[in-house]
Structure 1
Amino acid sequence: MKAATTVAAGTLEYQERPIPTPTAGTALVRVEHVTLCGTDLHIWQGEYLNPFPIVQGHEVVGRVEQVADSDTSDTSDASGASIACGDTVVLSPVRSCGACYACRVGRPNVCERVSVLGCYEDGALAQYILAPVETLRKVPPGLPSELAPLGEPASIAMQAVRRSRAHAGELALVIGCGPIGLISTLYLRELGVDVVAADTLPERAETAKEFGAVEAIVVDPAAAFPTGPQISALTATDSTRPVTVVIEATGSPSAFAAALDVAAPTGRVVAVGISDRDARLPLRTIPLKELDILGSRNSLDLIGDGLRLIARHQERFARLITHRFGFHQIERAFDVMHTQAEHVRKVLVTVDGPGR
């Protein structure tokens, strides 16, 4: 098989590798599609903590080609569903140790030794991938395989929303209208939460309305962020309703500081955007408002839930895929992600298709 290997920052080689052989508890999956996200671009540009060389790709769908002998291993996924040859599946990319404190208390998504396929070890930009059966999630009937890789980012957005403890009738602010922010907006609306979305780019902010946002704010980075009452007024319902949930999906230090300012007393702020930059903020804000500041990383096995969310909103998720490339156009895909960032939501790479 061929594997698209990032051998150094900005350098890709299509390497010949043997097709893996399933062992007990694993399945061989023929990769169909991979979607790329901002993390993939950072890896490509040498701005991540990954090793080189590495096969990138952690948002993946494929077809099961071979499952290890069921007489010697379990052939069911984590939900108990049987996995068989021919099944279309999404792979959970998170690998946890099972022994550290986080794993022992049921939070393997933040395992002390967590690894993620395509980020810290070889991933899915290859014609085949071997995976533990328990990490596979069946794609619901009727869901196009092109949309299925979005089950992974959907799970991340759903994790952030669940961390917020949002409930019907609340008012939420989502900062950042990239895929995670948009999916968070959609899921919050399903829960009966009114959402105002914010982004610095008008095109991205307006897209949030298509995902259920009551209103969208175009933020001027040089100006003060709208206040909580101003955001409440945009809902055209109750201008005094407090902003009790904020999802910060950019990783921008200034956006995080704004989230703390906007959140009402007793509100919850969830940071799902990741950055190495330092945030500066007055420490008095958190105790005086008694805010809950919550981090969110990966998901607690929510890819199946993410796939069902996509199945309910296929037209909206289809809008997330803005660019498509073949397996031998991956370098071009990364170039577009870098040079046309304001127009890119999700990039779809077709691994198993014409030009394979």
Structure 2
Amino acid sequence: MSAATVPAAAPARDVPERMRAAVMHGRGDVRVEERPVPAPRDGEVLLRVTRAGICGTDAGEFTHGPSMFPVERRHPVTGHLGPMVIGHEFIGEAVAAGPGAENFVGRRFASGAGVWCGTCAWCRAGRTNLCERYWTAGLSADGGLAGFVTVPAATLVEIPGAEHDDAMGLAQPLAVGLHAARRSGAGAGDVVVLVGAGAIGSFILCGLAGSAERVIALDVDAHRLATARELGATETHDVRSTDPVELVREVTGGVGASVTIEATGRDGSSQRALDMTRRGGRVLFVGLPHTPQALDLAPTILREVDITTTLAHVCAEDLPRAVDLLRDGRIANLLLGDVIGLDDLVERGLRPLSAGTAPGKVLVDPWR
């Protein structure tokens, strides 16, 4: 997705030659720089970005990385190596297109950001997020925390009508939450425990709505727990001064959760998630730990607990549903925090998100 010099097949609509972009150079080093506006290649669309989200992965890479971003090691699929435009949650207007995507120009889209080949065994099975050549704009090559970004047209879902950019800016992370909720397998009669009601936990709750008998949300922040109740949690518990494993056993009559969803990635939380799950239950790991985790698996094996993981989303299935759920504005009203400009990205975005003090989901308007 690096800048190209070939002209777009569809005429560009007021596209400048250069743009401002948030570029990661290394740990703790994200700079707003001028860069050439990229040109779309075959099957690609150039989006004028109207909103871009900041993800926990972005904050983690800023604080602890780069380990996932190909800043110091070349990406095996995209070939990217070196400073990279970050941002994998973005929406915008298509202002130019390469051959095969000309009819996209002039319409507004949310992008799934993840790119798949369409021909490997995983793609043929419908699990495009596991494609053997999968890569993501903003994680594996230049992304959308910029004025413009090029993406394959296949990653786009049209934003209908005149829905507000702030709400639709949540489409990609909501799609991730919807995919995780599906992966959990939660259904009628289940007692679900969600560990962590932050951003991704909140989006998972949107996918769990109405699917389980009880949804119990655990967190250490009263505001997040209040939001969890608005999003459909049947009960919430502040675990700042409580052993969460003992609490879950108590509120489930000593049985434990039938489905536990671990959405924090914090040290020790993986083991606690296993310990609070009942015989024959299931644990879904969502949060990415920053360090290797020691697990005592013997008790888990002896209770025949299933362990499941989740990755990204299946664009064709999860992104259209996310766009539809965001149309009435209710989810956005509950989850949105600040909308900031690129110049405030580090101090009002990455640092608060890394510290856990961000006031809701932070979006960036790259034209502020």
Give the structure 2 partner of residue 51 of structure 1.
70
Q: How far did residue 107 of structure 1 move?
A: 2.4
> Residues 306 and 174 from structure 1, CA distance in 2 versus in 1: closer, same or farther, beyond 3 angstroms?
same
**1:5-154, aligned counterparts within 5 Å?**
5-49=23-67, 50-52=69-71, 53-69=83-99, 73=100, 84-98=104-118, 102-154=122-174
Distance 1:121 1:131 in 2: 11
Give the structure 2 partner of residue 157 of structure 1.
177
Amino acid at match of 1:51: P
Give the structure 1 partner of residue 321 of structure 2.
305
SS in 2 for 1:267: strand
Give the structure 1 partner of residue 270 of structure 2.
256
Amino acid at match of 1:264: R
Q: How far did residue 90 of structure 1 move?
A: 0.9
Amino acid at match of 2:141: E
Kept in 2: contact 1:58–1:116 (CA 8 A) = yes
Kept in 2: contact 1:36–1:57 (CA 8 A) = yes
Kept in 2: contact 1:202–1:218 (CA 8 A) = yes
SS in 2 for 1:45: helix
**1:149-188, aligned counterparts within 5 Å?**
149-188=169-208
Give the structure 2 partner of residue 290 of structure 1.
304
Give the structure 1 partner of residue 11 of structure 2.
none
- Number of residue pairs aligned between Structure 1 and Structure 2: 336
Structure 1 runs of 4+ with >6 Å offset? none
Q: What is the aligned-residue identity percentage?
A: 29
Q: How far did residue 300 of structure 1 move?
A: 1.4
Unaligned ranges ≥5, structure 1 = 76-82, 233-238
Q: How far did residue 224 of structure 1 move?
A: 5.5
Distance 2:334 2:352 in 1: 16
Q: How far did residue 332 of structure 1 move?
A: 2.5
Kept in 1: contact 2:275–2:300 (CA 8 A) = no
SS in 1 for 2:169: helix
Distance 1:252 1:339 in 2: 12
Give the structure 1 partner of residue 332 of structure 2.
317
TM-score with structure 2 setting the length: 0.83
Distance 1:226 1:142 in 2: 48
TM-score with structure 1 setting the length: 0.85
> Residues 61 and 251 from structure 1, CA distance in 2 versus in 1: closer, same or farther, beyond 3 angstroms?
same
Unaligned ranges ≥5, structure 2 = 1-17, 72-82
Q: How far did residue 289 of structure 1 move?
A: 1.8
Kept in 2: contact 1:177–1:208 (CA 8 A) = yes
SS in 2 for 1:256: helix
Q: How far did residue 271 of structure 1 move?
A: 0.4
SS in 2 for 1:226: helix
Q: How far did residue 179 of structure 1 move?
A: 1.3
Q: How far did residue 310 of structure 1 move?
A: 2.0
Distance 2:98 2:144 in 1: 20
Q: How far did residue 195 of structure 1 move?
A: 0.7
- What value does the CA root-mean-square deviation take over the aligned residues? 2.5
SS in 1 for 2:141: coil
